[in-house]
Amino acid sequence: MRLVLFDMDHTLVPCDSGTLWAQFLREQNLISQEKAKQRATFLQDYQNGTLDVEAAYRFEFEQLRSLHARERNDLLQGFFTHKIRPLITESAQRYVERHKEDGDYVVIITATVEDIARPIANFFGVDALIAGRGKRDEFGEYTGEVELEPCMGRGKLVHLEEWLTQNDYHPLHYVFYSDSHNDLPLLEQVDDPIAVDPDEKLRQMALENNWQIISFLD
């Protein structure tokens, strides 16, 4: 069986879900304008390769921790319905469905915090979600610390290896769809690396290595 991995932000969804989540919370008057701007800077730093990953995750966990559990779940679902779902293209849905119909095991692997990514994974009906995880206290609330390590860059390899071990899964073939040069550590390890609407660095790498380049933008 093939294991087909999809990055999420700017791959399956044509946006940065964490930034939109902060904007959504701002619209609900749940965070300040300053906090929303701070989250936007993380996206720019990520694209430039200068992101303070630990600080970015702490920010996400702090915002989630500030919400009561029921309120948080309702907000996350509302966020997906009103902000993310309208952006998802038919092309992205077709690619996922095609792999499912072919009997492939389909997984989203993303740096995005699990709580934010879960409604998106549920919509696509993937077999599993590998996402950023935070440590929790005895009450089930986020402590602000990252569990394992950030699911980003080489960290995606660590999270994938953990998931494969926990599930005693041994795929014969790996496919990975991504838009970002930050995912090169994983892209370089799979059998079929596929660049989706890639950034300039990834596009150049794909051209040099004869990797497939596609678009999910309708």
User: Which residues are known catalytic residues?
Assistant: 7, 9
Helices (H) and strands (E) in the chain, counts: 9, 8
- The answer to whether the beta carbons of residues 112 and 45 sit under 8 Å apart is no
The secondary element (H helix, E strand) that includes residue 128 is strand 128-132
Contact 128, 104 (CB under 8 A): no
If we measure between CA atoms, which residue out of 156, 91, 152 comes closest to residue 124? 91
Identify the helix (H) or strand (E) that includes residue 90: helix 90-101
In 3D, which of 106, 103, 109 has the Cα closest to residue 186?
109
* CA distances from residue 66 to 19, 62, 127 in whole angstroms, order as listed: 17, 6, 30
Half-sphere exposure of 163 (CA within 13 A, CB side): 20
Q: Say which residue the tokens 């309120």 belong to.
A: 71
- Token pair 């997984």 is found at 107
Q: What is the Cα–Cα distance from 40 to 167, expressed in whole angstroms?
A: 36
